[in-house]
Chains A and B, each alone.
Chain A
């Protein structure tokens, strides 16, 4: 993304502003070098890029950026290279050096200059070295980072020059780091290299470690310094790794919490072994997809709010489906857990196939709104916005559910009915209605989970399958009938899973966790937080 932004900025620069790098070479000279881009394979293109960068011409960054975008084309007739803009099915060609219009060209007469990762890296490093003196701080920062990545000794003079005039402290720091990596790659004297290693070690980041590891096997003072610095960074990063695993654990725990919290109502509070729970999650995800589709076609400007709009839609869809299932199937089966299990399993298959027939078997793309994309760092922990929002959302749903159960009349009636049905009926509560609403509430919350999960998982008819076992595990482990138990259970399982994964691997980690839960349930059949009292015994 950063690269794209850089491209946009550089393109804007090339279009209007006067670039800072002075100096142009003769048009014919530049044209010849540009034409070299169109000749031969990746090796030749890479050489041509280096040649172009060596000119220091201020038109080069724009040309290279267009190359990176795949907008540089060769005219088959004479091998000349042009900027090509799509015009309908054909292209409109522009001379990259003079900017003169070269007229339209049918698709068959031009050929795109192919770009692969190696070429993209070469472009980034060349453009970086050329834009170090750009008037735009963002471009300079990106340029410094690109040069640092390329660790190219040829960029040293440009870096020295840029560092001398740089005034923004952190861009200057980035340039100094870039100079250090370039120095290491150059044939500078040993003492300079040791100083460069110290400068890189000061960064303390994983990237820095990556650079240093390239020199740990070197002989002499450079190798010694690199080994020492790498060891220091490693021990520092180890602590951060623990923090990172903890964060991942919380994030997984929040996903488990979201998936399980609806089940904590339908299974935990009502005692229905609801195998169709995962499908309620899936319905929520498909509701999100549908909402996004409508928004995309009718009100594209609202896309960033699509998830907020999807929340009530998903809740109502899943809740209505839940009420329908309760009224048509489950209410005939209260007190017969085995039949309920089979019936809801059947319902889950019906729902899956219904969605498959309606939406097709393929995955559906649910987009991330801009405020949920990307990540930021806290120290060395990468925090992705999606995960952060999901954790917050899971907690919000949890608190809202507690509030509904403890503070509203419906919640009171629910608890009354589930604890003592006869007594509740005797005091005038319409138990069938409460049953339906309770099941609807649990299902609706599963639908909400679907909205969140559509952001991290794929939206397919099988979405629910992946969560049903985990959900039951969380509810049983946490203690059936206890919402707080579900919270603690989900977070414990999430953290335990992520702490195990780095050592045992994903497959074995999960097995160990399942074994641990089996042993735990043997010891405490009612889970972490067992409900007490006569209601439970009955």
Chain B
């Protein structure tokens, strides 16, 4: 194993070296700004995270073509935490203290983010986290460029209520923190909208669940109660393919019981024949099919960089794009890569997103995003059927008992990630 790792890493380093050497002529090695990339390149999460590593490399390449940042070239430092949560913390420490990177782009799962948090706090560095997550967190050293639940789940449910007239809800998810929290928020939200207990079915499955026969049959059964039914899916990763295959096999069509998913994007659909799935939905803040000039340019550049014009783009890639450009802009505005001034400058920074609008970093270190609802097409792409105005990420959900009184504002003088408006104190509910 380690042999293959080393070889991979050596080739990677060689390629990187060549790449940098070709663009770096005339610069001494310490005349660069180092950017850390902390995404798993092996193990179970490699399926999702490898693409994000490539995205950061692509963005750095583009930025260097434009002359770099503050007159210096950017240099990527890529490490492989191998889908191993404790290793994420070790690699983060290595990036910050040994490689002296100015910023880190990384993590996918919440548990990996939680694992690196103490390191970023202790060594005071910046992490850009590009994936949709369950919220309930706001840290000074982290910028969350993916969606909070109110930027994905709640607008999706609103769409189903309005457009499809859905009255019965199946909340199906993989058994871990993101689906559990999201479903808790959704359940509270649905009940606030007057949905009865009997009309909500919550179902959890283990990671990598592959036999969906009885659950799909249950959904069918639940859906035959005379009321329009929809499935809200927080099913994660690999389990989606067999789930959708089973839906197709049992003849559940989107016109009968639509499924709206929060973790299924263009990459996940690449492994399925989508003809039986036409009409099922996904809620994201970006789709490859977005019709905008910025997106067309991004996709073109990406295909050239990765040398494969079949590669798809997806939402976490857009989140990485926004985070990267915001950091570049903030560094240029602050005139330095030092962590504290950059963190202060980042709040309020506005950069274009890929769907033709703008994303602003809010004082709670989350960003504004429009919510797009897309229907799966037979070519594996999404047809956008609804788009909202930009929504501010709500880190502490208003629909959860423990967090409805909390707000976060990292501007001075408050500088607090969990300010309790009921007690008027910083420090959560304690």
16 new A-B contacts, CB < 8 A, other than A363-B270, A462-B47, are: A117-B163, A120-B254, A216-B226, A245-B214, A248-B217, A353-B42, A356-B46, A357-B8, A362-B47, A362-B267, A363-B47, A368-B273, A375-B250, A502-B214, A506-B205, A510-B206
B160 vs chain A, min Cβ distance (A): 9
A245-B214, A502-B218 as given contacts; A384 in contact with B226, CB under 8 Å: no
> Chain B 121-158 against A: per-residue CB contact (8 Å), 1 yes, 0 no?
00000000000000000000000000000000000000
Can you offer 28 A-B residue contacts whose CB atoms are under 8 A? A1-B276, A117-B164, A210-B226, A213-B224, A213-B226, A241-B221, A248-B213, A252-B211, A350-B4, A353-B4, A360-B50, A361-B50, A362-B267, A362-B271, A363-B47, A364-B271, A365-B270, A367-B273, A375-B250, A382-B217, A382-B251, A456-B245, A458-B238, A458-B241, A461-B46, A462-B47, A462-B208, A502-B218
Chain B, residues 1-23, CB within 8 Å of chain A (1/0): the string is 10011001000000000000000
A361, B46: Cβ atoms under 8 Å? Answer: yes
| A349 at interface, CB cutoff 8 A | yes
B268 touches A120 (CB 8 A): no
Most buried by A among B205, B255, B273: B255
Within 8 A of B (CB), among A209-247: 209-216, 241, 244-245
B258 within 8 A of A: yes
Residue A101 interfacial (CB < 8 Å) = no
With a cutoff of 8 Å between Cβ atoms, the chain B residues found around residue A353 in the complex are 1, 4-5, 8, 42
Question: B44-73: contact bitstring with A at CB < 8 Å (1 yes, 0 no)?
Answer: 101100100000000000000000000000
- Pick from B47, B221, B255: contact of A117, CB below 8 A: B255
Instruction: From known contacts A458-B271, A506-B215, infer whether A114 and B383 are also in contact, taking CB-CB under 8 Å.
Output: yes
CA distance A349 to B163 in the complex (A): 47
Across-interface contacts of A458 in B (CB, < 8 A) = 238, 241-242, 271
B5 near A387: Cβ-Cβ < 8 Å? no
Contact B255 A363 (CB under 8 A): no
B190-224 CB mask vs A (1 if < 8 Å, else 0) is 00000000000001111011110111011011011
Closest to B5 in A: A353
Report the minimum CB–CB distance from A76 to chain B (whole Å). 13
Partner of B242, one of A212, A356, A457: A457
Closest to A367 in B: B273
Residues on B close to A: CB < 8 A? 1, 4-5, 8, 42, 44, 46-47, 50, 163-165, 175, 203-206, 208-211, 213-215, 217-218, 220-221, 223-227, 238, 241-242, 245-246, 249-251, 253-256, 258, 267-268, 270-273, 276, 279, 375, 383, 385
Contacts of A42 in B (CB 8 A): 163
CB-defined contacts of B246 to chain A, threshold 8 Å:
384
Select A213's contact among B206, B218, B225, B250, beta carbons within 8 Å: B225
Q: Report the Cα distance A458→B271, complex, angstroms.
A: 7
- CB contacts (< 8 Å) of B165 on chain A: these are 118
Q: Is the CB of A118 within 8 A of B210?
A: no
Across the A-B interface, give the 9 residue pairs with the lowest CB-CB distance, nearest first.
Answer: A363-B271, A214-B226, A210-B224, A213-B226, A458-B241, A384-B249, A361-B46, A248-B213, A506-B205
Interface residue A296 (Cβ < 8 Å from any Cβ of B): no
Give A357 to B5 CA distance when docked, in angstroms.
10
Cα–Cα distance between A87 and B360 once the two chains are bound (Å) = 41
Q: Known contacts A357-B4, A375-B251; is A210 also within 8 Å of B225 by CB?
A: yes
* Residue A306, interface by CB 8 Å: no
A386 within 8 A of B: yes
Contacts of B42 in A (CB 8 A): 353, 356
A206 within 8 A of B: yes
Chain B CB within 8 A of A6 CB: no
Q: Are B279 and A117 in contact (CB under 8 A)?
A: yes
Instruction: Verify A507–B206 contact, CB threshold 8 A.
Output: yes
Number of A-B contacts (CB under 8 A): 150
- Determine if A459 is an interface residue (Cβ-Cβ < 8 Å): yes
B225 partner residues in chain A, CB cutoff 8 A? 210, 213
Binary interface encoding of chain A residues 444-473 relative to chain B, with 1 for a CB under 8 A from any of its CBs, else 0: 000000000000111111100110000000
A131 near B: Cβ within 8 Å?
A: no
**Interface: A154 (CB within 8 A):** no
Interface size on A, residues (CB 8 A): 67
- Inter-chain CA distance A209–B279, complex, in Å, is 25
CA of A498 to CA of B218, assembled, Å:
12
CB of B166 to closest CB in A, whole Å: 10
Query: Quick one: which of A346-392 are within 8 Å of B by CB?
Result: 346, 349-350, 353-354, 356-357, 360-365, 367-368, 373-375, 382, 384, 386-387
Residue of A at shortest CB range from B227?
A: A214
State whether the Cβ of A207 lies closer than 8 Å to any Cβ in chain B.
Answer: yes
Given A353-B4, A362-B47: A465 and B218 interface contact (C-beta under 8 Å): no
Question: A356 to chain B: which residues have CB within 8 Å?
Answer: 42, 46
What's the minimum C-beta distance from A456 to chain B, rounded to whole angstroms? Answer: 6
In the assembled complex, the CB of B306 is this many whole angstroms from the nearest CB of chain A, namely 11
A121 contacts chain B at the CB level, 8 A cutoff = yes
Chain B residues with CB under 8 A of A367? 273
List the B side residues contacting A328 at CB < 8 Å: none
Check A349 against B1 for contact (C-beta < 8 Å): yes
**Are B279 and A382 in contact (CB-based, < 8 A)?**
no
Complex: how many Å from CA A70 to CA B279?
12
The answer to whether A118 and B218 have CB atoms under 8 Å apart is: no
CB nearest neighbor in B for A453: B210
Given the complex of chains A and B, what is the CA–CA distance between A214 and B254 in angstroms? 20
Q: Tell me, yes or no, whether A293 is within 8 Å of chain B by CB.
A: no
Residue A137 interfacial (CB < 8 Å): no
Cβ of A505 and Cβ of B204 under 8 Å apart?
A: yes
Q: Is A438 an interface residue (CB 8 A)?
A: no
**Within the assembled complex, what's the spacing in Å between the Cα atoms of A364 and B164?**
33
Check A124 for interface membership: any CB of B closer than 8 A.
yes
A215 and B164 CA atoms in complex are apart in Å by 20
Q: Does A167 contact B (CB under 8 A)?
A: no
**Bound: A409/B249 CA distance, A:** 43
Alpha-carbon distance between A434 and B33 when the two chains are bound, in angstroms: 60
Q: Is A251 an interface position by the 8 A CB rule?
A: yes
CB of B251, distance to nearest CB on chain A (Å): 6
Complex Cα spacing A497 to B261, Å: 27
Complex contact B254–A248 (CB within 8 A): no
Q: A213-B224, A502-B214, A505-B204 are in contact. Are A460 and B271 (CB under 8 A)?
A: yes
Contacts A346-B1, A498-B214, A507-B175 given; does A116 touch B271 at CB 8 Å: no
A209 to B268, CA, bound (A): 35
- Residues in A with CB closer than 8 Å to B224 are 206-207, 209-210, 213
The answer to whether A506 touches B1 (Cβ under 8 A) is no
The answer for the CA separation of A507 and B211 in the assembled complex, in Å, is 12
Is there a chain B Cβ closer than 8 Å to A133's Cβ? Answer: no
A residues near B221, Cβ cutoff 8 Å: 206, 241
Query: How far does the Cβ of A277 sit from chain B's closest Cβ, in whole Å?
Result: 16
- Contact digits for A26-66, partner B, Cβ 8 Å, 1 yes 0 no: 00000000000000001000000000000000000000000
Give which listed residue, A114, A121, A382, contacts B255 with CB less than 8 A: A121
B382 to chain A, nearest CB (A): 12
Assuming the A-B contacts A42-B163, A368-B273, A507-B205, are A456 and B210 also in contact, with contact meaning beta carbons closer than 8 angstroms in the complex?
yes
B279 close to A120 (CB less than 8 A): yes
CA distance A466 to B239 in the complex (A): 11
A489 CB to closest chain B CB, in angstroms? 17
Q: Min CB distance, B336 to chain A, in Å?
A: 37
**Residue from A255, A356, A386 having most chain B Cβ neighbours under 10 A:** A356
Q: Return the chain B residue nearest A2 by Cβ.
A: B251
C-alpha spacing A252/B242, complex, angstroms: 13
B226–A120 touching, CB < 8 Å: no
Looking at A70, A116, A149, A357, the one whose CB has the most chain B CB atoms below 10 A away is A116
Decide: B242 and A363 in contact? CB cutoff 8 A.
Answer: no
Is A305 in the interface zone, CB < 8 Å from B?
Answer: no
Q: How far is the CA of A527 from the CA of B218 in the complex (A)?
A: 33
Tell me which residues across on chain B come within 8 A of A116, comparing CB atoms: 163, 279, 375, 385
